[in-house]
Amino acid sequence: MSVSLRNHSLPPKSFSLTLLLLLNSLLFSSCYSLLNEQGQALLAWKNSLNSTADALASWNPSSPSPCNWFGVSCNLHGEVVEINLKSVNLQGSLPSNFQALRSLKILALSTANITGRIPKEIGDCKELTFIDLSGNSLFGEIPEEICRLSKLQTLALHANFLEGNIPSIIGNLSSLVNLTLYDNKFSGEIPKSIGSLTELQVLRVGGNTNIKGEVPWEIGNCTNLVVLGLAETSISGNLPSSIGMLKRIQTIAIYTTLLSGSIPEEIGKCSELQNLYLYQNSISGSIPSQIGELSKLQNLLLWQNNIVGTIPEELGSCTQLEVIDISENLLTGSIPTSFGKLSNLQGLQLSVNKLSGIIPPEITNCTSLTQLEVDNNAIFGEIPPTIGNLRSLTLFFAWQNKLSGKIPDSLSQCQDLQALDLSYNNLTGPVPKQLFGLRNLTKLLLLSNDLSGSIPPEIGNCTSLYRLRLNHNRLSGTVPSEITNLKNLNFLDVSSNHLVGEIPPTLSRCQNLEFLDLHSNGLIGSVPNNLPKNLQLIDLSDNKLTGELSHSIGSLTELAKLNLGKNQLRGSIPAEILSCSKLQLLDLGNNSFSGEIPKEVAQIPSLEIVLNLSCNQFSGEIPPQFSGLRKLEVLDLSHNKLSGKLDALSDLQNLVLLNVSFNDFTGELANTPFFRKLPLSDLTGNDGLYIVGVATPKEAKGHARLFMKITLSILLSISAALVLLTVLVLIRAHVSNKVLMRNNNWVLTLYQKFELSVDDIVRNLTSSNVIGTGSSGVVYKVTVPNGQTVAVKKMWSSAESGAFTSEIQTLSSIRHKNIIKLLG
């Protein structure tokens, strides 16, 4: 040692540090070498991970064996047989050195933030019985080497990003009991070798939308199968008849696929079947009566298919049934009375079919029923008066049928009822006041019936009510003030009835109200000053409301649609309307509003659907701010006393409909395609308003000249007198036409409702359309775009405007069956 020190020039501190590092290195190497091969492989895997989790803190190189490490279990021989790190945030890939883990039986790494591919070396762990790598971010294909694991009983790879085909040799996993591959990106077909898995109990491959082909017939060989899940794939073709060989099957879930054909009768042999989910497919044919043999069936979901025929009475023998949903099919016939034997039935959905007949009274024996949906059929007759026996009922939909009679009072006994929709039927009589004692009722929809009587004041007791629609009936009386007790009310529609009286001034108490529709009644009084602040739609049109619109309208900042048309409202539009910044539709037409249109109306930023101010007494000019309504689609200012020019409207390119008729507008209308195509009925009644015409294209002039030359050359062979006369007429018409082509300014005045534009007339005033001449001008035959034919007279010269005026005055004053109507 002394020689070593003398031969090195290291200072004493550096030597001490070097010696310490050397000792630590030797100590670490010594500890690491204590670990057996399995421990070293696991420790190498740990070091490859990015995890900062404390869960692997016990994985220490100083341990002689990994058997005491977290998540690691060994057998009596000290061999690692289990790695269970599920729900540990590992952040890395799977171990690649599986050769050191030859005795491994269980590998559970679900939801462990594992990425990368499944290494093919996993096939070396011949003792593996359980692999769960679900809920990770694995990608790539399943290595075929995994199919060498003959002892494997569970393979759970669901909820990853695995792709490619399911290995065709999957049938080699002869001990497999559970195979879950759902929610990945697998493609291809279900291998026929799946039929070799005679021990298989669970097969779930759903959620792989690129899995295609048919359900293999060989699936029937998996006689121990309990769960078959192929939902949300592109599986097509028929359900094989071999399905009847699955005597132990409890759940068949093949919904939202491309399955077609009929349900095989052999399904009745699946004696243990509890759940049959075949909805959202293209299944046709009828429901096999053999389903009635499934005594343990609990859920039958066949909705949204193309199933025809009648509902088999035999279904009433499936006394364990809890849910039947066969809605959205093409079923006919009546609802089986045998359903009355289904005492465990909780949900019965028969909506959107072609069912007829009555609602059988026997159905009220199903006292466990919570949901009854028979809407969108052709069911007639009365609602069974014993409907109140269904004390557990929470939802009853029977809308869009042919039901008649009264609404049974006994419905009030269904104290758990939350939603009742009997709309679009022929129900008569009053709305039972007992209904409003249902404290859990949130939706009551009775629209489009023939109900009469008044809205009972007891409505105020139905405090959970969220949506109330009684529109399109024959209800009379007033809107009860008790309705303002409904603090949860969001949607109120009692339009198209015979209601009278005033709108309850305390309606503002319904603070959650967003939709208020009272149109087409006989309501009087004024629009309430205080309305619920959350209102998004107000329709009070077609009533008898009077008074002025309150300045408080500006407090409705959530309002999107306001329709007060067809009332007797007066005064001016309050400038506070600008605060309704979300307003898209404003209809104040057919009232008695007066004064100028406030500029604030045009400054509402969201006004883009309709602005209707027609049939009022507005005066003054259109505010220049109207030019900012670039998104507006419909503008109606007709039948007012407005004046000035329409320049503010010239740039409204999004307009679909514009009506400014019967005002005092003057000046030139914008020369744009939209304004040129406007029906003249939407412009009439403005004496000083004129439209700019468009010159005929040069090509049309050239064609006209060519035609003239040809015509003249032919006419030279005719008698001199006729030639001279014809030439005189045509030359004058040609000269007139040239003048016409040079003139771009035309004033069109209409006397009748007729849809044509200046372009429609001018482009047809050519010599080929001449049908006669007179002392004052030439008459042309013109066919307008709608197919109608009109006669147009062009005066010889402006000097004869007096004759023209005289002729117009005469025609406009004569009414006779043999004199054509003067259009303009």
Beta-ladder partners of 669: 691
Burial tier of 723 (Cβ tally within 10 Å: 0-12, 13-18, 19+): middle
- The CA distance from 309 to 331, in Å, is 5
Cβ 105 vs Cβ 127: under 8 Å: yes
| Known binding positions | 794
| Known binding positions for ATP | 794
Extract the tokens encoding 461.
């007791």
- The CA distance from 788 to 782, in Å, is 9
What is the 3-state composition of the chain as percent helix, strand, coil, each rounded to the nearest 5?
A: 25, 20, 50
205 phi, psi to nearest 5 deg: -125, 10
Distances in Å between the Cα of 718 and the Cα atoms of 29, 332, 414, 706, 709 are 127, 80, 99, 20, 15
- The CA distance from 197 to 216, in Å, is 13
**Sequence-distant contacts of 51-56: CB under 8 A, at least 24 apart:** 51/88, 51/89, 51/90, 51/91, 51/92, 53/88, 53/89, 53/90, 55/85, 55/88, 56/88
CA quadruple 354, 359, 363, 367: dihedral sign: positive
Cβ 479 vs Cβ 499: under 8 Å: yes
Cβ 758 vs Cβ 691: under 8 Å: yes
- Per the rule left: phi > 0, alpha: psi between -120 and 50, beta: everything else, 429 is left
C-alpha dihedral, 181 to 152 to 276 to 216, nearest 10°: 80
Cβ 186 vs Cβ 210: under 8 Å: yes
Closest CA to 180 of 144, 122, 217, 228: 228
181 contacts: CB under 8 Å, gap ≥ 6: 157, 158, 162, 166, 204, 205, 208
Beta-ladder partners of 275: 251, 299
H or E element in which residue 401 lies: none
Extract the tokens encoding 566.
């067809």
Position 815, amino acid? R
Strands (E) across 181-225 are located at 185-189, 202-204, 210-212
Q: How remote is the C-alpha of 396 from its chain's centroid?
A: 24
- The CA distance from 505 to 510, in Å, is 11
Closest CA to 83 of 95, 92, 91: 95
Cβ 380 vs Cβ 401: under 8 Å: yes
Q: How many CB atoms lie within 10 A of CB 48?
A: 14
Question: Which one-letter DSSP state was computed for residue 504?
Answer: P
Closest CA to 304 of 240, 257, 359: 257
Q: Which residue has the tokens 């009929």?
A: 262
Helices (H), 573-719: 599-602, 673-676, 698-715
Integer-rounded Cα radius of gyration of the chain: 43
Q: What distance separates the 2 farthest-apart alpha carbons in the chain?
A: 149
- The CA distance from 437 to 439, in Å, is 6
